[in-house]
């Protein structure tokens, strides 16, 4: 695990300690954030954690505990945490890349000179790391995309992106689990449910897990959609 | 199923069922939601004898008109929305007995933004992830995940309440002109600190339960983008146009702009009650000071 001296501690709110790693996209850091998050969530003083790429917010019981206490627990235990022990899983997510869903296919042709079949080949040809969840319920930030697929966000975000939309922003790909405004380049849509209100663990896909996209046609999209599927392990 | 106690006659601008919030799911990207002005909401629940984190109706800008279908005890707190019971003016911050058939109407919030209506008893609203708070963007909580609509009925089993006297000195002042106190954020440079403390800001029209956009005539332009990182309710971010945004109850759990600081909990309630156009100033405080105030107030 990381050297404790490289971690930075800030108070984000009266009841929230923020732990920051060196700010870069790095698989080992992502796994360390997850390991520390899992450790802290097992403590009664900790109410909840918010893991990000290279930082972790820790909400604690302000009335019975201090941020200094959480900080010393982190410093004393961080070196013993092992990222190898984490149960990282690989998930398969079906995506329909049909033109009806791939709203920005033309932008890839205009700016990257790649067509639909190349988009599909590049997007389904490898598995991607879940760097974090967040920004909206169940949103997954995945990477890193091959260079050919890199395309900056839209200058004018759409006011409405449909639930299940799969997008690209620079070297990352992401999934909008709910309808929302959004500025990512949309290349397809998944029929599966990525944020399940009926489950106490609404998103089984965790930071540090891998995701592989599987191309499906419109027919398969509609039949999977009707059956309301959840993500499956590869 | 118990009998409906309340029927919505007019919905108002943005009336929702809220409570102390949905905790434990920020790591999934789900905001806590819940009361925008925690202080007024706690007080309303206290006056009717409910748990302070319990369900109530939060009304923004223009309040609702409601008809009571059973006898019960209510309390109104927060912004003055000219509440009338059967056409007669009723006071805020006290317990009021209402009878079946009574009609309660709220108008435009006069000097502030948000009014609260608490009703003493057990609310029969399905909790999602442990909370009844409405989070309209994900269509969850409250009634079908949306603000109240004409014709909605709310089931509450009214409790037999003792009279509760709420002393006037406990009512918070939301008069404009206060300085909002901040805990310094991780990306706040010396330049940003000076700018934030020396500038005057106005609450803009970009105001909702997600966030409050502030405006200044002297924006600080910084093209800084971060790796997405956690935000708290009250965190002030600095986007490239130099006009800061304060995260509110339904706000994003993570963001990518520099975090200048986080408004202390006691002052988040105050910010929530300020109308667009109100002038604001900021001052940084020591973390230990902020924690002491939070423990004392909440």
Q: Which chain A residue's Cα is nearest to B292?
A: A14
Contacts of B128 in chain A (CB under 8 A): 197
> Residue B228 has which token pair?
């997405």
**Could you say which of A11, A37, A141 has the minimum Cβ distance to residue B228?**
A141
Cite the DSSP H helix spans in chain B: 38-47, 190-198, 265-272, 287-297
- Residues in chain B predicted with pLDDT less than 70, given as ranges, are 1
**Could you say which of A8, A13, A195 has the minimum Cβ distance to residue B234?**
A13
| Phi, psi angles (nearest 5°) of residue A219 | -65, -45
Q: Please give the Cα distance from A37 to B91 (Å, whole number).
A: 48
The full set of domain ranges for chain B reads 4-170, 179-297
Substitution target in A134, A157, A176 with the highest count of B β-carbons within 10 Å is A134
Q: Please give the Cα distance from A98 to B34 (Å, whole number).
A: 40
**Contact between chains at B253 and A134 (C-beta distance less than 8 A):** yes
**Contact between chains at B183 and A67 (C-beta distance less than 8 A):** no
* E strands, B24-170, in order: 56-60, 65-68, 72-78, 84-85, 88-89, 96-98, 103-105, 114-119, 121-123, 153-158
Farthest-apart Cα atoms in chain A, separation: 59
- The CATH number corresponding to B179-297 among 3.20.20.150, 2.40.100.10, 3.30.420.40, 2.40.420.20 equals 2.40.100.10
Q: Please give the Cα distance from A131 to A68 (Å, whole number).
A: 28
Q: Please give the Cα distance from B118 to B126 (Å, whole number).
A: 18
**Could you say which of A10, A47, A141 has the minimum Cβ distance to residue B186?**
A10
Contact B61, B107 (CB under 8 A): no
The full set of domain ranges for chain A reads 4-85, 90-233
Nearest to B114 by CA among B63, B175, B65: B63
Q: What is the pLDDT of residue B1?
A: 56
Decide if A39 touches B, using CB distance below 8 A: no
Positive/negative CA dihedral, A15, A21, A23, A26: negative
Q: Which chain A residue's Cα is nearest to B256?
A: A135
Phi-psi bin for A135: left (phi > 0), alpha (psi -120 to 50), beta? left
Overall average pLDDT of the A65-77 stretch: 96
Q: Which chain A residue's Cα is nearest to B182?
A: A13
**Contact between chains at B259 and A12 (C-beta distance less than 8 A):** yes
Nearest to A119 by CA among A151, A141, A149: A149
Nearest to A27 by CA among A62, A53, A60, A57: A53
Q: Please give the Cα distance from A39 to B140 (Å, whole number).
A: 30
A233 forms beta bridges with A91
- CATH number at A4-85: 3.30.1360.40
Contacts of B226 in chain A (CB under 8 A): 23
Instruction: Quick: pLDDT tens for A195-234.
Output: 988 888 999 999 999 999 999 999 999 999 998 788 888 8
CATH 1.10.3720.10 is the classification of domain A90-233: no
Q: Which of A135-139, A185-189, B65-69 has the lowest mean pLDDT?
A: A135-139
Contacts of B227 in chain A (CB under 8 A): 23-25, 52-55
CB pairs under 8 A between A and B: 124
Instruction: Quick: pLDDT tens for A79-91.
Output: 888 888 888 999 9
| Helix (DSSP H) and strand (DSSP E) numbers for chain A | 5, 14
Please give the share of chain A, as a percent, with pLDDT higher than 90: 79
Q: Which chain B residue's Cα is nearest to A57?
A: B230
- CA–CA min distance A166, chain B (Å): 17
| Phi, psi angles (nearest 5°) of residue A68 | -60, -35
- Put simply, the chain A residues between 97 and 136 with a CB less than 8 A from any chain B CB are 132-136
- pLDDT for residue A154 is more than 70: yes
Contact B24, B129 (CB under 8 A): yes
- CA–CA min distance A17, chain B (Å): 10
Q: What is the pLDDT of residue A76?
A: 93
Q: What is the pLDDT of residue A20?
A: 98
ipTM of this model? 0.95
A91 forms beta bridges with A211, A233
């Amino acid at each position: 695990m990381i050297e404790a001296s490289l971690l930075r501690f800030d108070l984000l709110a009266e009841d929230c300690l923020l732990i920051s790693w060196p700010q870069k996209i790095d698989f080992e850091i992502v796994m360390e954030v997850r390991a520390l998050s899992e450790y802290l969530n097992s403590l009664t003083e900790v109410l909840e954690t918010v893991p990000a790429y290279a930082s972790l917010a820790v909400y604690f019981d302000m009335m019975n505990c201090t941020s200094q206490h959480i900080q010393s627990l982190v410093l004393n235990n961080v070196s013993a945490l092992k990222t190898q022990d984490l149960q990282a899983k690989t998930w398969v997510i079906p995506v329909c890349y049909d033109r009806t869903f791939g709203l920005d296919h033309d932008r890839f042709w205009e700016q990257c000179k790649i067509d639909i079949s190349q988009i599909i080949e590049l997007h389904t040809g490898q598995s991607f790391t879940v760097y974090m969840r967040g920004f909206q319920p169940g949103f997954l930030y995945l990477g890193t995309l091959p260079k050919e697929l890199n395309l900056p966000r839209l200058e004018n975000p759409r006011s409405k992106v449909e639930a299940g939309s799969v997008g690209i922003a620079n070297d990352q790909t992401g999934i909008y689990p709910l309808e929302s405004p959004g500025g990512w380049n949309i290349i397809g849509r998944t029929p599966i449910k990525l944020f399940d209100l009926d489950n106490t663990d609404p998103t089984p896909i965790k930071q540090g897990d891998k995701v592989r996209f599987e191309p499906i046609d419109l027919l398969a999209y509609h039949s999977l959609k009707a059956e309301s599927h959840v993500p499956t392990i590869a | 199923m118990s009998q409906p106690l309340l029927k919505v006659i007019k919905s108002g601008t943005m009336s929702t069922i809220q409570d102390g919030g949905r905790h434990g799911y920020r790591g999934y990207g789900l905001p806590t939601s819940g009361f925008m002005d925690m202080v007024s909401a706690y007080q309303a629940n206290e006056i009717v004898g409910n748990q302070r984190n319990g369900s109530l109706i939060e009304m923004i800008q223009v309040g609702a008109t409601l008809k009571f279908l059973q006898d019960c005890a209510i309390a109104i707190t927060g912004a003055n929305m000219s509440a009338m019971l059967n056409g007669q003016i009723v006071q805020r911050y006290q317990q009021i007995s209402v009878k079946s058939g009574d009609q309660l109407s709220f108008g435009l919030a006069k000097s502030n933004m948000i009014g609260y209506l608490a009703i003493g008893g057990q609310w029969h609203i399905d909790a999602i992830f442990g909370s009844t708070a409405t989070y309209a963007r994900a269509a969850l909580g409250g009634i079908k995940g949306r603000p109240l609509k004409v014709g909605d009925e709310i089931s509450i089993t009214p409790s037999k309440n003792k009279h509760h006297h709420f002393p006037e000195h406990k009512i918070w002042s939301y008069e404009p002109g206060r300085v909002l106190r901040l805990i310094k954020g991780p990306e706040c440079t010396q330049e940003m600190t000076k700018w934030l403390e020396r500038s005057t800001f106005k609450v803009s029209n970009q105001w909702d339960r997600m966030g409050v956009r502030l405006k200044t005539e002297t924006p600080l332009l910084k093209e800084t983008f971060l790796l997405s990182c956690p935000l708290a309710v009250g965190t002030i971010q600095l986007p490239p146009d130099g006009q800061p945004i304060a995260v509110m109850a339904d706000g994003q759990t993570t963001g990518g702009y520099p975090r200048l600081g986080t408004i202390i909990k006691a002052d988040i309630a105050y910010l929530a009650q300020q109308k667009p156009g109100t002038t604001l100033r900021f001052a940084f405080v020591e973390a230990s000071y902020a924690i002491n105030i939070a423990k004392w107030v909440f």
